């Protein structure tokens, strides 16, 4: 199982981290060992002083494909859910500053929290938000994506064979911030809670 992540896919988030808007998707990956699911807690790792949450819409691929044409791309998406792309932000800033890969800051154990998934119906706008300790901290809408779902499937499949079960974290809207021990993160799609994660 492969986990793809897309960086800077919402203009408001790119702006808050003072990044330019990308002209092509920013892609990185996480290993399967990054996944935490079934509501298990996230144990704060000792990787610098600021571990940030990033709530994202996550796509699950339903069938294998390579070099997928845009008109068929949606049919490869089986389900959609929410996930958190945990990021060691100060470490990432250091790596970025040196022009180095981001894996150490993005792909560590527990850095991919997965919530519930529902069957994917193309064309809907997906509206989602994150609450930290019952206070809303992030608001997102799939219509604000710079690179849309079907384009991401097409783009990734030029480079990688997509396989059933692969995941695509599609990017985070503005409002990212640090977590500390004792925080509780809850992700909602529309008014339904899809994800809960306690920080321990």
Instruction: Note the residues at the interface with Zn ion (CB under 5 A).
Output: 54, 85, 172
Q: Whole-number minimum distance, CB 85 to Zn ion, in Å? A: 3
For residues 65 and 82, which CB has a smaller minimum distance to Zn ion in the complex?
82
Task: Name residue 127's beta-bridge partners.
Answer: 141
Q: Whole-number minimum distance, CB 92 to Zn ion, in Å? A: 10
**Cα Rg of the chain, angstroms:** 16
For residues 157 and 172, which CB has a smaller minimum distance to Zn ion in the complex?
172
For residues 138 and 154, which CB has a smaller minimum distance to Zn ion in the complex?
138
Q: Cite the beta strand spans of the chain per DSSP E.
A: 3-7, 26-30, 35-36, 51-53, 55-61, 77-85, 87-88, 112-119, 127-132, 135-141, 167-169, 177-178, 184-189, 192-198
Q: Whole-number minimum distance, CB 175 to Zn ion, in Å? A: 12
**CA distances in angstroms from 102 to 7, 30, 60, 61, listed in the order given:** 11, 10, 23, 24
For residues 85 and 166, which CB has a smaller minimum distance to Zn ion in the complex?
85
Structure tokens at 140: 């997102």
For residues 92 and 172, which CB has a smaller minimum distance to Zn ion in the complex?
172
Q: Whole-number minimum distance, CB 107 to Zn ion, in Å? A: 12
The residue number with the shortest CB distance to Zn ion is 85
Q: Whole-number minimum distance, CB 56 to Zn ion, in Å? A: 6
For residues 12 and 69, which CB has a smaller minimum distance to Zn ion in the complex?
12
* 195 close to 31: Cβ distance less than 8 angstroms: no
Q: Whole-number minimum distance, CB 39 to Zn ion, in Å? A: 21
> What are the strands of the beta sheet with 26-30, ordered from one edge?
26-30, 3-7, 167-169, 55-61, 77-85, 112-119, 35-36
- Residues ≥6 apart with Cβ < 8 Å to 79: 59, 60, 62, 117, 118, 119, 120
């Amino acid at each position: 199982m492969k986990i793809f992540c897309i960086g800077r896919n919402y203009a408001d988030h790119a702006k808050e981290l003072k990044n330019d808007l990308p002209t092509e998707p920013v892609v990185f990956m996480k290993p399967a060992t990054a996944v935490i699911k079934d509501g298990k807690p996230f144990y704060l790792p000792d990787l610098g002083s600021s571990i940030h949450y990033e709530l994202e819409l996550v796509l699950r691929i339903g069938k294998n494909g390579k070099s997928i044409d845009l008109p068929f791309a949606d049919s490869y998406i089986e389900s959609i859910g929410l996930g958190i792309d945990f990021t060691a932000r100060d470490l990432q800033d250091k790596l970025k500053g040196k022009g180095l890969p981001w894996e150490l800051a993005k792909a560590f154990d527990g850095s991919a929290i997965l919530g519930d998934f529902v069957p994917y119906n193309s064309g809907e706008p997906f509206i989602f938000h994150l609450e930290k300790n019952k206070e809303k901290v992030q608001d997102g809408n799939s219509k604000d994506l710079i690179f849309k779902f079907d384009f991401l499937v097409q783009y990734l499949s030029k480079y990688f064979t997509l396989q059933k079960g692969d995941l695509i974290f599609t990017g985070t809207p503005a409002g990212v911030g640090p977590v500390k021990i004792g925080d509780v993160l809850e992700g909602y799609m529309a008014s339904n809670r899809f994800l809960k994660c306690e920080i321990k």
